[in-house]
Amino acid sequence: MSTGGLTALAVNNFRSKREKKGAAMRLVDSILTEIDQEAKTTKRVLDRIPEDKLAWKPHPKAFSLGQLAMHVGCTPGGVAAAAVPDTIEAPIFSQPEAKSVESAKDTLKKMDDARLMSTWSLTKNGKVVMSVPRIGFIRFILMNHNYHHRGQLSVYLRMLDVPVPSIYGPSADENPFV
């Protein structure tokens, strides 16, 4: 199932629960539901990383296995925090300490629909590089960007002959439907 399909499933599931209670669904609720679902999958991938291979790289230009795993762990909390101000100066990317999924969710829960639909801008040396609705930034970087890197981690695992967990369906090593 595609990420969009999972989002639709989560939104419809959440919406039906909310409608029964008579409450309107906030825009952030679908993102929070997806974060919860995807965190379980990401944990399965991260749990497979062999500690003795953290410095391994598939190519000299690539992140090491440990750096990539840390990046996947840092993205949710870091991006959620970056989505709070209306404008942020392009950071110098480094490998910060991992921020938990709970940190990201706590930050996002504070945003109402108007805040999510307001403009968020990235600047470089004071010049606007891009301006998008805040929810678009969250979707593109916090969600899709992280899935991309989680996919890279699964390739690293395969190259190291570590069993790859099921992500959006069966892998060659794990079939949740059997």
78: its two tokens: 């870091």
Contact call for residues 133 and 118 (beta carbons, < 8 A): yes
Domain ranges (residues) in the chain: 27-159
Kindly write down the DSSP assignment for every residue of 76-128, as one continuous string.
Answer: HHHHHHHTSSSEEEPP----PPP--HHHHHHHHHT--HHHHHSEEEEEETTEE
Q: What pLDDT digit, counting tens, does each position of 7-33 carry? A: 555 556 555 555 556 678 899 999 999
Global pTM reads: 0.79
- CATH number belonging to domain 27-159: 1.20.120.450
pLDDT at residue 44 above 60? yes
Q: What pLDDT digit, counting tens, does each position of 59-110 carry? A: 999 999 999 999 998 889 989 999 999 999 987 766 555 557 888 999 999 9
